[in-house]
Amino acid sequence: MPEQPNNFNWSLKNLLSTIPDSLEQSRVKILYTFLILSILKVLIVIPIAYQNNQVPQLKLAFILLIGYVLLTKLLLSHKRYAVLISHIMIIAGLMIVIIVLFGYAKTINIMAMQFMFMVILSGFYLLNRGFGIFYSILSIIPVILFLFKNGDLQNLNNSPEGLSSPAYEIMVFLNFITMVLGHYLFHQAFSRNVKEKELLNEKLLIAVEEANIAAQSKSDFLSTMSHELRTPLNSVIGMAELLSDELTSPEQEENLKILNFSAASLHTLINDILDFNKLGSEKLYLESIAVNLHSLIHNICSGLRIQAREKGLELVLELDEELKQIPISTDPTRISQILFNLTGNAIKFTSSGSVKIQVEVLDKDADKISVRFSISDTGIGINAEKMESIFEPFTQASTSTTRNYGGTGLGLAIVKRLLTLFESSVHLESEEGKGSKFWFDISFKRYNQALDNDTNSNEQIYDLKGLRVLVVEDNPVNSLLLKKIFQKWSNIPDFARDGYEALDKVIANEYDLVLMDIHMPLLDGYEATLKIRELSDKEKSLVPIIALTASVSSNLNDKIREAGMNDYLSKPYNPKELYSKLREIALRKK
């Protein structure tokens, strides 16, 4: 309901309390001041005009008095009338200029000039730049016309047809007061407005600083949490990998698959939560590792089948057989993360029927291969209105989705972000109650060499005999895991428990490679690497260093490069990925 004017309100303070902006308050103050001074001028003119029997001036004074009083009351009743009254006051000033020039005084006297300047001032101060220019031109036009008509500028004094003394002198004085007060009030408001902005800027700087501190604290917390979560998970996944070569029964194989799937699911969940911290920071990077996409997707699906089987669903995998013969360079962790999220969602939101994963080659040449991935299900489907919003963080199709199906609401947001790193995007086709289909295309760089694991002999595949490796790791369980892994690769690495011990061993021995943990007591991996790079012995200072880290710091890649490390693996790492990196160094050594 609109606010009604208050006919009994004569308080300027009450009116100003309804105006939050200081500049608008100043305009109302200036307008109010002009009205009060105008009333005062008229009250002075009335008795003097009456005494000197100046009837026309007396009539005009009474009309102006009634008009100014009504305008003052109208202004105080509601702020919305301020602009209208400003226009009326400026037009009244223009009329006075015209009357002085062509009516009573018939000369360009000081009063005409004062009203002309007040019209110009009011146009800019009470309204805006456009009206200021418009009314300025209107106030100057009568003066120019008068000059053309009379041919010269007469003395700036009173005319016999003007106001009698001392009314004229008082009017001139009050006009000067009006102009001074107008400038003063506007300057006061301008200064106050600037001070308010300066105060807001100071508060903004403080808020930004606090936000930066909070963001850094969050990043540090997530980095610490990542280390604490990923370090034991690395041992779980690594030990499960070692057990795969010691299976003696189908039951053990089934149990190990469940263990691997649970570990992989936990790994994916941790990645989703921790990678979300990097979504807006442009700090996600892709690794380039030689993989067989056919084998990678088979491994991903072997775990997902267990999840589908538990719900009585059929997981159908349709893989283009051509992928078997085409090794590629990509980031298998991110590919796995994308497929785990999309297929995991499909299984989660399907109560009966099937989930299908299709991977087909679209195009290929000597350097690249284009592949289409599609994941379809017979699940609950998605409402057309929700198709865009589900890709936003913490968003699911309805409020009941989280309650009925669980989940963080981060999976699809991360899929969308990860696909931008592959210069791709996710597409969705769905009908509520009839299932969904997600699909995307990725162009991979071909790896034009035979993969180590394409052969059938494990001894030939995993052979790092003769490679001199120093492992710098403070966690005894991870050290034991690496020792067992290297034994399978016909290698016995040297171990150091902290950065200082690593530095001493690099100085005393010859190594082909250093695997450097990042978070260690006494001297961390960054500082230890910097000290190694500063060694006078060039051969020792240039030893390849690969970081092993459980950190998810947003600037991890930059920090690793600045420290002088050659590469890194995130925990929990796949032993095959580690072997691939070590194999490259071993081949360069030969």
Residue type, 215: A
Token output for 193 = 């407005």
In a domain, 494, yes or no: yes
Q: How far apart are the first and last CA of the chain?
A: 87
Do 442 and 579 belong to one domain? no
Do 92 and 129 belong to one domain? yes
Contacts of 267 (CB under 8 A, 6+ apart): 233, 237, 572
Whether 555 shows a pLDDT value over 90: the answer reads no
Contact indicator for 473, 548 with CB cutoff of 8 Å: yes
Residue 49's pLDDT is 80
Q: Which of 15-29, 31-45, 166-180, 220-234 tops mean pLDDT? A: 31-45
Residue type, 25: Q
Distance CA 410, CA 341 (A): 9
Whether 399 shows a pLDDT value over 50: the answer reads no
pLDDT bucket at 552, cuts 50 / 70 / 90: low
Distance CA 227, CA 225 (A): 5
With a pLDDT cut of 70, the percent of the chain lying above it is: 79
Distance CA 561, CA 568 (A): 10
Do 469 and 435 belong to one domain? no
pLDDT bucket at 590, cuts 50 / 70 / 90: low
28 vs 284, residue with greater confidence = 28
524 phi/psi in degrees, rounded to 5: -80, 180
Residue 548's pLDDT is 85
In the DSSP assignment, the letter for residue 321 is G
**Boundary (domain end) residue, out of 203, 236, 262:** 203
Do 575 and 431 belong to one domain? no
**Boundary (domain end) residue, out of 404, 430, 450:** 450
Whether 113 shows a pLDDT value over 50: the answer reads yes
Do 286 and 150 belong to one domain? no
Do 479 and 496 belong to one domain? yes
Beta-carbon count within 10 A of 14 CB: 11
Whether 375 shows a pLDDT value over 90: the answer reads yes
Residue type, 539: E
pLDDT bucket at 161, cuts 50 / 70 / 90: very low
Whole-model pTM: value is 0.48
Residue 151's pLDDT is 54
In the DSSP assignment, the letter for residue 216 is H
17 vs 260, residue with greater confidence = 17
Do 486 and 388 belong to one domain? no
User: Strand pairing of 494-496 and 469-472?
Assistant: parallel
Least reliable range by pLDDT among 223-227, 238-242, 410-414, 547-551: 223-227
Least reliable range by pLDDT among 30-44, 198-212, 232-246, 427-441: 232-246
In a domain, 1, yes or no: no
Do 260 and 346 belong to one domain? yes
Report CA-CA distances (Å) from 470 to 214, 331, 583. Answer: 38, 26, 15
pLDDT bucket at 309, cuts 50 / 70 / 90: confident
407-419: average pLDDT: 74
135 phi/psi in degrees, rounded to 5: -75, -25
Residue 401's pLDDT is 47
In a domain, 4, yes or no: no
pLDDT bucket at 584, cuts 50 / 70 / 90: confident
Do 396 and 489 belong to one domain? no
In a domain, 208, yes or no: no
pLDDT bucket at 507, cuts 50 / 70 / 90: very high
pLDDT bucket at 529, cuts 50 / 70 / 90: very high
Do 492 and 537 belong to one domain? yes
29-43: average pLDDT: 85
Residue 160's pLDDT is 40
Residue 505's pLDDT is 92
Name the domain count of the chain. Answer: 3
Contacts of 274 (CB under 8 A, 6+ apart): 222, 225, 226, 552
Contact indicator for 278, 554 with CB cutoff of 8 Å: yes
Residue type, 453: N
Q: For 389-442, give the DSSP string.
A: GGGSTT--SSHHHHHHH---S-HHHHHHHHHHHTT---EEEE-TTS-EEEEEEE
291 vs 549, residue with greater confidence = 291
In a domain, 221, yes or no: no
**Domain extent at residue 46:** 12-203
Least reliable range by pLDDT among 56-70, 291-305, 445-459, 549-563: 445-459
Burial of 358 (0-12, 13-18, 19+ CB in 10 A): middle
With a pLDDT cut of 90, the percent of the chain lying above it is: 13
CATH number at residue 504: 3.40.50.2300
User: What is the per-residue pLDDT across 446-498, written as a single tens digit (0 to 9) for each?
Assistant: 887 766 554 444 444 578 888 899 999 888 888 888 888 888 888 899 999 88
Q: Which of 34-38, 376-380, 383-387, 389-393 tops mean pLDDT? A: 376-380
Q: Which of 219-223, 327-331, 473-477 tops mean pLDDT? A: 327-331
In a domain, 224, yes or no: no
pLDDT bucket at 503, cuts 50 / 70 / 90: very high
CATH number at residue 303: 3.30.565.10
Do 138 and 170 belong to one domain? yes
Residue 406's pLDDT is 44
Whether 569 shows a pLDDT value over 90: the answer reads no
Do 414 and 492 belong to one domain? no
524 vs 285, residue with greater confidence = 524
Whether 59 shows a pLDDT value over 50: the answer reads yes
Whether 335 shows a pLDDT value over 70: the answer reads yes
- Tokens 């995307």 locate to 440
Contact indicator for 463, 414 with CB cutoff of 8 Å: no
In a domain, 464, yes or no: yes
142 vs 253, residue with greater confidence = 142
343-347: average pLDDT: 88
Residue 281's pLDDT is 52
**Boundary (domain end) residue, out of 450, 484, 518:** 450
In a domain, 239, yes or no: no
